[in-house]
Amino acid sequence: MKDIYHPKKQPVPIRRIEIAGIAYTIRPSFLLPYMTGMTNEVEKALFLRKFNVPFWALSHVFGRDPSYWYRTEQLLGRNSIVGTAIRNPDDLPQHLAADEKHSWVLGNKAYIATTVGNECILGASIANDAGDNALKEAYQGFQHEARCLKPSYAPDTVNFDGWNATRKAWTCLFTSIVIVYCFLHVFIKIRDRAKKKYKDIFIQATSKLWDCYHAENKYAFSQRIRRLIEWCKENNAPDVFVNPII
């Protein structure tokens, strides 16, 4: 144990512990971050924010000034998602999936750059557009939090839908990462570019593609992919069936 201190904002003694030279504050769950209030005192007002009740109205009903309710809402997003979900640095996933959820922020189109791994959401940041720089900055939030937990962290693979800006963002943040394209989006690329133009072999080629997806293990999957490529070459199939992402 490092020490116990009494914050000025709340009459609750707070314990701090020290692990490997780093001090951590143990905050009770009934206290908000930064000791700004008790959870049971603010939860009803924050629930109304879901329905866009303005801060001045919350102040009129629940007291305090509008700035307090604004700051209380903003402070909820300051906790580290990675640090909250994962305690042991060795549990950081080596295989990730990433995607951008199309959404709206104050009437403007935005994209929520989401990172998941081991069946857990590990990052969600707003990007104002779907360009290289905006997505890099958004996904950088996950990189920062992960490396706060483990400075040498670098995932092995990331799976996503093939959007070029997403690829550039991840390869810039983690230079050694291997890109794994979403199988469904690979099929969609082929369908959109070949269903009408190459309808004479479309059904046969895509049936073989889905047969690869249903392989029982990685060895069988790789073997079926090789057989599919060989079949495409033997039948002079257009390049779209072999390189659908390009």
- CATH number of the domain residue 136 falls in: 3.30.420.10
Query: DSSP 3-state assignment of 61?
Result: helix
Residues 20 and 55 in one domain: yes
Residue 88: give the domain boundaries. 82-181
Query: DSSP 3-state assignment of 187?
Result: helix
Summarize the confidence of residues 56-70 as an average pLDDT: 92
Give the model's pLDDT for residue 159: 93
Query: Please, what sign has the CA dihedral across residues 167, 169, 174, 176?
Result: positive
The answer to whether position 74 is within a domain reads yes
Q: How confident is the model at residue 244 (pLDDT cuts 50, 70, 90)?
A: low
Residues 117 and 199 in one domain: no
Higher per-residue pLDDT: 31 or 217: 217
Residue 77 has pLDDT above 70, yes or no: no
189-204 burial, b for 16+ CB within 10 Å, e for fewer? bbeeebeeeeeebbee
For residue 142, count other CB atoms closer than 10 A to its CB: 24
Examine the fold and report which residue of 56, 79, 102 is the final residue of a domain before the chain moves on.
79
**Do 32 and 57 touch, CB atoms closer than 8 A?**
no
Measured CA to CA, the distance from residue 183 to residue 206 in angstroms comes to 12
Q: How confident is the model at residue 28 (pLDDT cuts 50, 70, 90)?
A: confident
Residues 114 and 75 in one domain: no
Higher per-residue pLDDT: 178 or 201: 178
Q: How confident is the model at residue 198 (pLDDT cuts 50, 70, 90)?
A: confident
Model pTM? Answer: 0.65
